[in-house]
Amino acid sequence: MTAPADPLHDAARLAEIAELGLLTDSADPILADIATRAATALGLPVSLVSVVLDEALHVAAAHGIEPLWLNETLGHPVEWSFCARSVHTREAYVVENARHDPEHRANPLVTEDGVRCYAGVPLISSRGFVLGNLCVVGLEARTFTTGEIEQLRTLADEAVARIEARRPV
């Protein structure tokens, strides 16, 4: 059997997400701590541990979303998701100025919520599936350094270790 053309719809990837229990409504306190550390390290107000599904993005843990509508919904349509890019590329994804980015400038997260910058790295399970991202979001345009992306990668590796520790035996 061949993998689906669009990894968002890969049944094995979605089964991995379900097996790891990433769709619960209660955030794992260790994942929330990782999100806080990511926001603090990069000096940005928002950070998420996201789970990218085929139709939606789910927030597994977050920092700084309390005043946002995202705090109530803990997700949004996958079409709005900056994080979905990494499911396709398996690479870090950076948007330094979303208002000028052709792919995101009409995105409601940009036009309505004021997202201006984004940097995310994929959460890749030991089985090779991209579960989602560890990302940071800001309300002002900015440049991200290679060192900052490496900080996110280190924290993302820590998040994956925590997630996989929950795997049923």
64-87 exposure pattern, b = at least 16 Cβ within 10 A, e = fewer: bbeebebeeebbbebebbbbbbbb
Q: Kindly give the interhelix angle for 146-165 and 29-42, rounded to the nearest 10 degrees.
A: 180
pLDDT at 92: 97
Residue 158 confidence (pLDDT) above 70:
yes
Domain boundaries, the chain: 7-165
Q: Looking at the DSSP assignment, which residues form a beta bridge with residue 59? A: 50
Question: E strands within 92-162?
Answer: 93-95, 117-124, 130-138
Residue 22 confidence (pLDDT) above 80:
yes
What band does 40 get if pLDDT is binned at 50, 70 and 90?
Answer: very high
Average pLDDT over residues 158-164: 94
Closest CA to 16 of 48, 47, 49, 51: 51
Average pLDDT over residues 145-149: 98
Percent of the chain residues past pLDDT 90, beyond the cut: 64
pLDDT at 24: 75
Using an 8 Å Cβ cutoff, are 86 and 95 in contact? no
Average pLDDT over residues 21-25: 78
Q: What are 124-146's pLDDT values in tens digits?
A: 999 999 999 999 999 999 999 99
Q: What are 92-107's pLDDT values in tens digits?
A: 999 999 999 999 999 9
Using an 8 Å Cβ cutoff, are 13 and 107 in contact? no
d(CA 142, CA 94): 10
pTM confidence score: 0.90
- 7-165: CATH topology is Beta-Lactamase (3.30.450)
What band does 4 get if pLDDT is binned at 50, 70 and 90?
Answer: low
Average pLDDT over residues 16-36: 85
What band does 44 get if pLDDT is binned at 50, 70 and 90?
Answer: very high
Residue 45 confidence (pLDDT) above 90:
yes
